[in-house]
Amino acid sequence: MEIKNSFNNETSYVQHSLIVSKLKDKIKNYQNLEIILSELPKGSILVGGFIRDLILDRLSLYPDIDIVIPNNSLDIGKNIAEKFSGKFLILDQDRNIVRIIFRNFTVDIASQTHELLAEDLKSRDFTINSVGFSFNNGKLIDPAHGICDINDSLLRSLRYENLLDDPLRILRCFRFVSELNFHIEPRILEFIELNKFRLKTVSVERIQYELKRIVQGKEALKTVESLNEIKIFDWIQSYENNHSNKLLYINFDNFLQDEIDQFFPIAYLKELLKEPVLTKFKFSKSHTFAINSLRRWSEKLKEKSIMHFTEIERFELHKDLEMILPAFILYLPEKFHKEWLKRWRNKKDKLFHPRNFINGNQLKTIVGIEDGPLLGDLLNYLSREFAYERLNNFDEAIYKAKGWFQQNAPKCD
């Protein structure tokens, strides 16, 4: 046993030394960061995501750097911002948290909340974020064994009250699942299921931010499935149809990475949130319209195969979903993926990229039609004929327009 413990201690010491060495090198890589950090008072430490992501070798190009100082964070943050020309923001007046935005990084400064630094670190949301680096002695501080949990890809919190101090941490837990592919300690997952309703006390803007991060993560699909399994939003929406994720076993091989990054989050949000909740969480009108359009057409696939869609339905589908079609292709049988993506990527494909072949003013002048619903129907008809390549030039369009107008114009008795 003593030999094993000696080996573990030696391994831990070596890893800590490597982390500290990488940390110091990284700090030197960011312009002025080392000088800025030297302005901090004695007893200041670097904590949280910067250390975690350094260990995981996934530091972003524009990192967030979290600092805990003994006290007086508002004044110290303001002085640093003024001295080094950073943009100063107060993130949380009650908890004395400020942000300074620089060109290559952002620094968040908070005042220590406990008399003992170790207790301050133990009160953070998850142990993976409770690792600190002391500027005084250049050593790591890891009272919650966060480095071990990072190595084990484990999301663990020392105390339940750490999650309840800010209930958004319930949702943030799943963001780490999505972004880091970590797994949640079973007792924490049980606690989340029992306390998910506490999210109702969190501002909808903060919830929206976490949801957007979740659906953009590399493990977003798995995470959305997990959120639906525990019915994370049953305090605001129903799950009578089990809200099951229909995308779980889809093969993504035919999709380009930029298509996955841009369009898959729309499908994931559609699977996660019902229509009223999108409004409740203040998603933009364009975002909500895209998701609801995807919902409407994917639901139609439950009624009949895409092969049985009428010409009009196919045209309306492509008109509604042209800008987000890869999200819809996820709902098609895999045998359709390659061909549909090929046609959608071809901007000259007339059906997959519907266009008005002629404008309304021309029709009003030549055909004699007036503004109103009838003009809209005629434009839609001509666009559909163009999409199916049944008209090829302006003369054909006018000829078809006159014939359509004679058949559909109101008749006088």
Residue 361 has pLDDT above 90, yes or no: no
Average of pLDDT values for 182-195?
97
Q: What is the mean pLDDT of residues 194-221?
A: 96
User: What contacts 403, CB < 8 A, 6 or more positions away?
Assistant: none
Instruction: Please write the tens of the pLDDT for every residue from 90-107.
Output: 988 888 899 999 999 999
DSSP assignment of 56-124 equals TT---SS-EEEEEESS-HHHHHHHHHHHTTPEEEEEETTTTEEEEE-SS-EEEEEE--SSSHHHHHHTS
Which pLDDT belongs to residue 222?
93
Domains and CATH numbers, the chain: 1-151 (3.30.460.10), 153-238 (1.10.110.30), 360-408 (no CATH)
Report yes or no: 133 and 140 within 8 Å, Cβ to Cβ.
yes
What is the spatial distance between Cα 190 and Cα 186, in angstroms, rounded to a whole number? 6
Tell me the average pLDDT across 276-286.
Answer: 93
CB crowding 59-95: b at 16 or more within 10 Å, else e: beeebebbbbbeeebbebbbebbeeeebeeeeeeeee
User: How many helical (H) and strand (E) elements, i.e. helices and strands, does the chain have?
Assistant: 20, 9
Mean pLDDT for the stretch of residues 360-376: 84
**Whole-model pTM?**
0.87
| Distance from C-alpha of 129 to C-alpha of 47, rounded to nearest angstrom | 7
Query: What pLDDT is recorded for position 298?
Result: 94
- Give the model confidence (pLDDT) of 14-58 as tens digits: 889 999 999 999 999 888 899 999 999 999 999 989 999 999 999
